């Protein structure tokens, strides 16, 4: 190749690189301008919010348990931000199925009772024929009371009469108490997946004649109360009437021979495949509802003086211990000293009178 040919090749190569660089720059500038234009368009023309389906029609009003002997309450907002949160205006509501009575209902209940350690025939204790009681032991009896249609039940061992449970030097940890509770429930098939995967909280108790006294250290503890909560749904937690006295809870002793001395169980399955969306009130309206005395006090905590400082506000689902057909959202107001209150979240026009 001659020198002229090399010079000519270099010339065209430089021109190619130059125009290639210009072309790349133009493309990048065009993409940048397109992105800016798209961002501006979306800002000036935001997408319309999803319209609620309200497919279940008007929902039944949430029925909360009665709370008596509460002091007069005043509220002050003390969140980190100093303001109420901005929360989505549409939330899912889920259907909750219900069992019906069949000719096998009592037999199924007897089978479950036997797995819980209560064999034999129970005594009917209701006029409706749906509540039964089993008893085992004489000197220190244990009782199982069950509503046989939905199989909600309570177990109680008369631990006050058993001094052997109160003179144990070894300790039991919250993790051990949790394993004991879940194992006991699982053997009778009373541990659904959303409870098994859910969170738990614990309360330590020391026994004093006629009552249990809350304590803060394991060294003082005679019993640990285990509260089992459901697994979250789409990052929204599910809360019972009182998270510190859950729908499923157990009192666990330090005795390896008698771990579960009390057990409360109330559970209704959530059909996560059957849901509808509903509009909800905003956080400021919920706050005014709370201040006007229309909130449900889930846990007063150590607030007998009645002056409540609210630290957190968020949405959750309310898990009723009685069947209410739907899993509905509530605003949760958490305050100092374990205060918790709920305000129903679905707008009033979609709630039955």
Assign residue 333 the CATH number of its domain: 2.40.128
Average pLDDT over residues 44-63: 82
Q: Is residue 60 part of a domain?
A: no
Strand stretches in the chain, DSSP E: 74-77, 90-96, 123-124, 131-136, 142-147, 152-157, 200-208, 211-215, 223-228, 238-239, 248-253, 260-265, 270-279, 296-299, 307-318, 326-327, 329-335, 339-344
pLDDT for res 210: 81
Whether residue 92 is found in the same domain as residue 37: no
Query: Where a domain ends, among 204, 239, 268?
Result: 268
Whether residue 113 is found in the same domain as residue 256: yes
Whether residue 256 is found in the same domain as residue 281: no
Q: Is residue 162 part of a domain?
A: yes
pLDDT exceeding 90 applies to what percent of the chain?
77
Confidence of residue 330 (pLDDT cuts 50, 70, 90): very high
Task: Give residue 289's domain range.
Answer: 74-96+272-350
Whether residue 162 is found in the same domain as residue 294: no
Q: Is residue 54 part of a domain?
A: no
Residue 289: exposure state from Cβ atoms within 10 A (0-12, 13-18, ≥19): middle
Whether residue 232 is found in the same domain as residue 333: no
Compute the distance between CA of residue 338 and CA of residue 225 in angstroms, rounded to an integer: 16
* Contact present, 44 and 36 (Cβ < 8 Å): no
Compute the distance between CA of residue 248 and CA of residue 231 in angstroms, rounded to an integer: 13
Whether residue 29 is found in the same domain as residue 79: no
Q: Return the residue matching tokens 């809870």.
A: 249
Whether residue 126 is found in the same domain as residue 190: yes
Whether residue 85 is found in the same domain as residue 136: no
| Number of domains the chain contains | 3
The more confident residue out of 44 and 116 is 116
Whether residue 212 is found in the same domain as residue 314: no
Whether residue 342 is found in the same domain as residue 255: no
Residue 161: exposure state from Cβ atoms within 10 A (0-12, 13-18, ≥19): exposed
Residue 11 pLDDT > 80: no
Q: Is residue 64 part of a domain?
A: no
Whether residue 191 is found in the same domain as residue 205: yes
Q: Is residue 6 part of a domain?
A: yes
> pLDDT tens digit string along 178-203?
999 999 999 999 999 999 999 999 99
Give, in order, the Cα–Cα distances in Å from 267 to each of 45, 70, 177, 348, 352: 46, 28, 20, 27, 24
CA 331 to chain centre: 13
Query: Where a domain ends, among 250, 268, 286?
Result: 268
What are the two backbone dihedrals, phi and then psi, of residue 318, each rounded to the nearest 5 degrees? -95, 120
- Least Cα distance to 252 among 281, 220, 227, 216 occurs for 227
Whether residue 137 is found in the same domain as residue 261: yes
Instruction: Quote the pTM value.
Output: 0.85
Query: Where a domain ends, among 268, 290, 305?
Result: 268
Q: Is residue 205 part of a domain?
A: yes
pLDDT for res 166: 83
Q: Is residue 66 part of a domain?
A: no
């Amino acid at each position: 190749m001659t020198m002229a040919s090399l010079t000519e090749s270099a010339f065209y190569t430089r021109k190619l690189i130059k125009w290639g660089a210009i072309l790349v720059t133009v493309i990048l500038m065009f993409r940048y301008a397109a992105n800016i234009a798209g961002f501006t368009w979306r800002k000036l023309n935001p997408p319309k919010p999803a319209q609620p389906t309200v497919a279940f029609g008007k929902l039944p009003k949430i029925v909360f348990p009665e709370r008596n002997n509460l002091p007069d309450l005043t509220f002050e907002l003390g969140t980190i931000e100093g303001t109420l949160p901005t929360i989505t205006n549409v939330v899912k509501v889920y259907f909750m199925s219900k069992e019906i009575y069949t000719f096998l209902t009592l037999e199924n209940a007897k089978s479950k009772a036997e797995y819980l350690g209560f064999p034999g025939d129970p005594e009917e204790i209701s006029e409706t024929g749906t509540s039964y009681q089993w008893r085992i032991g004489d000197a220190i009896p244990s009782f199982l009371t069950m509503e046989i249609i939905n199989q909600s039940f309570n177990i109680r061992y008369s631990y006050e009469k058993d001094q052997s449970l109160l003179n144990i030097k070894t300790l039991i940890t919250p993790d051990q108490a949790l394993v004991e509770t879940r194992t006991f429930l699982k053997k009778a098939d009373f541990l659904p997946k959303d409870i098994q995967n859910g969170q738990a909280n614990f309360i330590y108790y020391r026994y004093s004649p006629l009552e249990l006294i809350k304590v803060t250290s394991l060294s003082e503890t005679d019993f640990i109360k285990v509260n089992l909560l459901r697994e979250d749904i789409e990052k929204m937690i599910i809360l019972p009437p009182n998270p510190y006295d859950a729908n499923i809870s157990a009192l666990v002793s330090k005795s390896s021979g008698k771990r579960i001395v009390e057990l409360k169980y109330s559970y209704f399955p959530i059909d996560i495949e059957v849901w509808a969306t509903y509009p909800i009130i905003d956080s400021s309206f919920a706050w005014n509802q709370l201040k006007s005395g229309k909130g449900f006090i889930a846990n007063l905590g150590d607030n007998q003086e009645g002056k409540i400082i609210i630290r957190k506000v968020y949405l959750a689902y309310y898990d009723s211990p009685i069947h209410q057909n739907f899993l509905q959202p509530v605003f949760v107001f958490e305050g100092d000293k374990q205060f918790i209150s709920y305000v129903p979240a679905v707008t009033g026009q979609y709630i039955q009178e």
